[in-house]
Structure 1
């Protein structure tokens, strides 16, 4: 109940949303998501998997995307740790 109130309060406060969107962690999170989406798209195109897939091909593509995403998460975490020192 209280959490809903707080979320509603934050979402309806334009100045707070603007400040949060300009913050470093939010910008980095947005950059990370965009990078992951574009790299996943590129992997699918390079692999020739941007057409209709069989279930086995789809599972393999999802495995590749998951591995790529895990690598990016590790890299982002390492970058963040280095910058915080």
Structure 2
């Protein structure tokens, strides 16, 4: 029910235009973009510092762990999708 209502509101061109012209929505968008870029900058700096301080063995270990985590999460997502499709 809520999804249907939200979909209707999102597809209502006049409503979207009015909201986008409102000060609150513009300000919220500005703040969201600001937070995104600040977080991106902080993450880049932290990553660069970590990489500089890592030995080649530690860096390789980090990459291996990252790859394994990505594979595990992909498998979990695949299993979750498969279980949802089997229910329907």
Shorter-chain TM-score tier: 0.3 to 0.5
More helix by share: 2
Largest Rg, 1 or 2: 2
With normalisation by structure 1, the TM-score equals: 0.47
Larger relative contact order (C-alpha < 8 A, sep ≥ 6)? 1
With normalisation by structure 2, the TM-score equals: 0.46
